[in-house]
Amino acid sequence: MLSTELTVPSNGRTLQVPKPATPYQGDIARYWDGEARPVNLRLGDVDGLYHHHYGIGDVDHSALGADGDEQKLIAELHRLESAQADLLLKHLGDIGPDDTLMDAGCGRGGSMVMANQRFGCSVEGVTLSAKQAEFANGRAAELGIQDRVRARVCNMLSTPFDTGQMAASWNNESSMYVDLHDLFAEHSRVLKVGGRYVTITGCWNPRYGQPSKWVSQINAHFECNIHSRREYLRAMADNRLVPQAVIDLTPDTLPYWKLRATSSLVTGIEEAFIKSYEDGSFQYVLIAADRV
């Protein structure tokens, strides 16, 4: 595959940046290379964990105070986002320091850092965005964990890892950018037998009939293609991934969205999330599956 090289000044590594396999992948790479939303960066500035996903849990109104301090609101939103990542990591199973994990669609690396801190393990992240990989590797170097946590630029459907290399793997709100059968075939390949795969994702509800107008707005906003919950379960079954838990997190994520909608960090997509969760056309789910 044709590639160029990008030197990462923060830690001296050289990123191999492959040529996108499709025009769509090139579009997504450019989208995330250019993304610099305050809602992602300012929340990460709270404690150095930079996420690209949403939050779960009840809002701690006592932490917000009565003075309308925006920084307190930002800190609370960030706490809810980290709680979401913590829930995903809890479902990875029994992970030890000798294990290697894969974060497919790693963003700026917040979940990778949390996994290393929790398990002491190695984490390999993949993203189409050279800017995200550079940022994640820079943070790992700043924390002194660059020998255990690494992001690289590659297609999550065709990773450079060995068959059976991973003890666990996950997608955290990144599976809507790819075909699910191709995605789960690759996770099934890199996972050892008995390894755990976890995803947290938004999906449209088959009981609604078709994707609602709100789901269509979300697709257009993020240039993605949200799948139905049924598609996830079928594609897993076709690729030797047997679900052990399917948890509806929709009620748990609504407080995050309603709080975010009151902040100065709104992006214009908040109403679509809130309305679609409330009318039942969109769901926020965690699925944990074992490789058999």
Per DSSP bridges, beta strands 241-248 and 282-291 are antiparallel
Q: Are 274 and 202 in contact (CB under 8 A)?
A: no
Backbone angles phi and psi of 17, in degrees to 5:
-105, 105
**What pLDDT digit, counting tens, does each position of 229-278 carry?**
999 999 999 999 999 999 999 999 999 999 999 998 899 999 999 999 99
Q: Which amino acid is at 245?
A: A
**Residue 140 Cα distances to 8, 13, 38, 127, 261, angstroms:** 12, 12, 21, 15, 31
Which pLDDT value is given to residue 12? 55
* 41, two tokens: 């960066």
Question: Which of 244, 232, 259 minimizes the C-alpha distance to 56?
Answer: 259
- What is the distance in angstroms between the CA of the first residue and the CA of the last residue of the chain? 31
pLDDT tens for the chain, 292 residues: list them: 334 444 444 455 567 788 888 899 899 889 888 877 777 788 999 999 999 899 999 999 999 988 878 999 999 999 999 999 999 999 999 999 999 999 999 999 999 999 999 999 999 999 999 999 999 999 999 999 999 999 999 999 999 999 999 999 999 999 999 999 999 999 999 999 999 999 999 999 999 999 999 999 999 999 999 999 999 999 999 999 999 999 999 999 999 999 999 998 899 999 999 999 999 999 999 999 999 9
Q: Which amino acid is at 2?
A: L
What is the reported pTM? 0.92
What residue ranges define each of the domains in the chain, with the CATH number in brackets?
A: 38-291 (3.40.50.150)
